[in-house]
Structure 1
Amino acid sequence: MPLSRRATDPNEMHTLDLDKWKSVMKARAAPEKTRRSAEDEGGHLKEQGVVSKDGSSLEATRDLVAMWQQAGKTVPQEMTDEEVQTLSELTTKSSRRKYLKYLAIREGHKRARKEKQLQKKTAREASMEQSGGQDGDAEEERGPELKNHLIMHFWDRSMDKLFGWRTAQAMVFGQPLVFDMSYDSNMAKRELENTVSQLMEVEGWNRRATDPYHLHFCNLQEDGAYKRELVKRYGAEAWDRLLVTSTDQQHVERFPRERLVYLTADSPNVLRTYDHSKVYIIGALVDRSIQSGLSLANAKRLNLATARLPLDEFLHWEVGAKNLTLDQMIRIMLTFKETGKWEEALMFVPKRKYDGFHHGSYFGLYFWSNMENKMYK
């Protein structure tokens, strides 16, 4: 019969097996081809002249990210136009990979925080539903809790007004403290974002202080990276209401040169006593590569007096450079301004960097304070 001959024909059987094998191999080769094309796409974009400053460049970059995502690489799920523009300006494949990995990790942290908040909200709603089914006695017990909540809310608003009033007074009568915003070209994008985060902490700590400074952000260019990031973080309305003096002028144009003292870790001069008549300057800089002498060179170029905190004189320094974050600096300066005691001010230096105070440092501070008082008397 024809059917039996076809079933027993060895040539026909080999033909059918070969076709199946081809289809299987093509299916296996498709993901590998996608990965290979994603690897080479970055180099081809530039060779073909696709990478430019127009909209087609952004679309090509988004296509590249989509291809890498299909290839199983670590890339973010969503990207803003600014992030895509930054990616398109990177010239090497390794730099693009690192930037995409950074964005993906940051996106993962945000997603985890949102999931945690959602879990808390769900648990809170479930707890409210359970408490809603209780009897009248439970409702009476919830009365004082609601009252306490209202009192705390009123307290928070009152303290917020008090802090605002103190900061407003400091802008008229307070001692100036300058942050030099001329270092945007010396930092990478992530370093600048970290700097702005620390400046926001500075504003918060100063606002809650008993005797706040009048903060000045000098050399803050209107179209500069600092200003864009600050407005982005605060929001345009909140930035306009912020009790901080921001200007594109240099500090030497706003204050007498003899009153200015630039605080830098590279200065040979030690700040031993606090001078309320001086205007202290802090460089708004986060430098992960430790560009030694950058702020000192800036101060010398303007012929300004410099000083450093007495870290070596008071602390057994263990690890790391003697550069402190901006929020640590504002807490140290606020405490030193209020108490005049370095042993209290330097408590805000991270404990991981030092191993206790030097023996006799308290006596040294007492000696300096007495000598200073005698000189003024």
Structure 2
Amino acid sequence: MSVIKSGYCKNVSSQDHSSKNKNIKSEDKLFLQKYIEMLKYEGRNIPKHVSEEHFQELFELPTKSMRIRFLNYLYERELAKRENKARKEEKKKLYKMQFEEKQNKMTKHIEYGLWKNSIFIKARKSDITAMHNNRLSNAMKFNQPLVIDLDFYDHMKRKEIYSLANQLKLCIVHNRLRLEPFNIMMCNVDFNCHKFQIFSNKIMPSVLQPHFPMIITSKSYLELFPKEKLIYLTPDARQEMETFNCDSVYIIGGILDEGRTSPLSLAKAKRENIKTEKFPLDKYHIFRRSKSLDINVVVDILSDIQKDGDWEKACENIPRRLLQTADKTPLHPNKMIRF
């Protein structure tokens, strides 16, 4: 598939592909194994299993502190997986005990309700999933498109890739539960990129299946839609979004802006001569730090604005940890409030 990439990430992309082709040598891997054993004796948090891919990334890290932080990150992930597995096993045992208790109850009369005699057909999980996927299939034909630009892989680290994947999972789940979901499209996808393979295979494997009702393409949104209909949503834009335009195609940058000083999404929109807008968040809340929101939160706000047009209600989707505002009352834009 042909991939359209903007000029500011071509150099980084070539470095990423060149480093991907280099495999770790056996002596380097042996050195890292001895290094990990030494850290274990020092009492560091070290995972039990380190994959070949993690050995490669560990070898490419330049400093000792970065390697220790990366191993600690793998240890925390491994610990969370073990705890999650144990929690699932406990739930499974409890479910089995409750099922056996209800099966052993002998009743002489017809009883209606859950786990009893019922005149209704049980709605299985596969049926509910098919219903939600049918909504997404109809959205691909008739509903308003919403573009997520995945042209920023080269500017993100491994942890940020995992965070982005979790945000997109929540975005897809929330969208398919709505009565009128968006036609979500992922554009500028580099299917051969090493980071995208991590993103798709380990986090969202079902999305790339041919039966999943969502468009994922390597084409640019400039090839799919007229430029005059495109609006790039970025917190660094000057113009505020007043109302939801049903004829426009909104674009969300697939990048984690937290902790970044350079406005990458705004720079790309200006380079492509696309109109930019931002949410009028200052009229309703005071933020603690950055006004950059997760992708799933942005999609939830757009959905509420499309449905009701009420910004105060839509801003309730913002996590309270990001806000300094003590209540839900809208703030006057020109009035200073002390806390």
Pairwise same-fold verdict (TM > 0.5): yes
Q: Deviations along 1:193-215, whole A, 9 cap, x unmatched?
A: 10011111111111111111111
Residue 236 of structure 1, CA deviation: 5.8
| Superposed displacement of residue 321, structure 1 | 0.7
Q: Note the C-alpha offset of 1:185.
A: 1.2
Within the candidate set 211, 214, 237, 1:244 is matched to 214
Are 1:219 and 2:188 matched, yes or no?
Answer: yes
Which blocks of at least 5 consecutive residues in structure 2 are unaligned?
A: 1-21, 334-339
Query: Distance between the aligned counterparts of 1:152 and 1:320, measured in 2?
Result: 51
Q: Displaced runs of 4+ in structure 1, greater than 6 A?
A: 139-143
Alignment of 1:1-377 (within 5 A): 53-126=24-97, 136-137=106-107, 144-147=113-116, 153-154=122-123, 156-224=125-193, 225-235=195-205, 239-313=209-283, 315-352=284-321, 353-355=323-325, 356-358=328-330
> C-alpha separation between the residues in 1 aligned to 2:117 and 2:307?
33
Q: Quick check: 1:187–1:287 contact (8 Å CA) kept in 2? A: no
User: What CA deviation, in whole Å up to 9, does each residue of 1:101-152 have, x standing for no partner?
Assistant: 11112211221222222333344445556667x5634x97998432489968
Unpaired runs of at least 5, structure 1:
1-50, 362-377
Deviations 1:248-273 (A, max 9, x none): 12211211110000000010001001
Seen in structure 2, the aligned counterparts of structure 1 residues 271 and 130 have a Cα distance that, compared at 3 Å, is closer
Q: Distance in 1 between matches of 2:154 and 2:173?
A: 26
Deviation, structure 1 residue 84: 1.7
Question: Structure 1 residues 185 and 291 mapped into 2: Cα distance closer, same or farther (>3 Å)?
Answer: farther
Cα pair 2:241 2:277 within 8 Å, conserved: yes
Q: What secondary structure does 1:91 align onto? A: coil
CA change 1:320–1:147 in 2 (3 A) is farther
**TM-score of the superposition, structure 1-length normalised?**
0.74
Local SS of the residue matching 1:295: helix
* More helix by percentage: 1
Change (3 A) 1:125 1:174: closer
Separation of aligned partners in 2, 1:276 and 1:94: 50
Distance 1:100 1:228, change over 3 A: closer
Contact 2:229 2:247 survives alignment (8 Å): yes
- CA, structure 1 residues 327+149, in 2 after alignment: closer, same or farther (shift >3 Å)? farther
Distance 1:52 1:101, change over 3 A: same
* Number of corresponding residues: 308
RMSD: 2.8
What is the distance in 2 between the residues matched to 1:161 and 1:269?
A: 40
2:285 is paired with a residue whose SS is strand
Cα displacement (A) at 1:247 = 1.2
Cα shift at 1:181: 0.5
Which structure would you say has the larger Rg? 1
CA 1:275 to 1:241, structure 2 compared with 1: closer, same or farther past 3 Å? same
Name the TM-score, length of structure 2 as normaliser: 0.81
Mean Cα displacement is larger for which, 56-65 or 276-285? Answer: 56-65
Structure 2 CA distance for aligned equivalents of residues 148 and 308 of structure 1: 54
Q: Note closer, same or farther for the CA distance 1:94–1:153 as it changes in structure 2 (3 Å cut).
A: farther
Bigger RCO of structures 1 and 2 (CA < 8 A, at least 6 apart) = 2
Deviation at 1:354?
Answer: 4.4
2:184 is paired with a residue whose SS is strand
**Structure 1's 149 and 310: CA in aligned 2 closer, same or farther, altered over 3 A?**
farther
1:125, 1:182 → 2: CA distance?
47
Q: Distance in 2 between matches of 1:185 and 1:171?
A: 29
Q: Deviations over 1:50-86 (max 9, x none)?
A: x972344334323322332234321011122211211
* Shift of residue 174, structure 1, vs aligned partner: 1.5
What secondary structure sits across from 1:261 in the alignment? strand
CA change 1:84–1:152 in 2 (3 A) is: farther
Identity of aligned residues (%): 27
Q: Secondary structure at the match of 2:189?
A: coil
- Provide the secondary structure at the position in 2 that maps to 1:76: coil
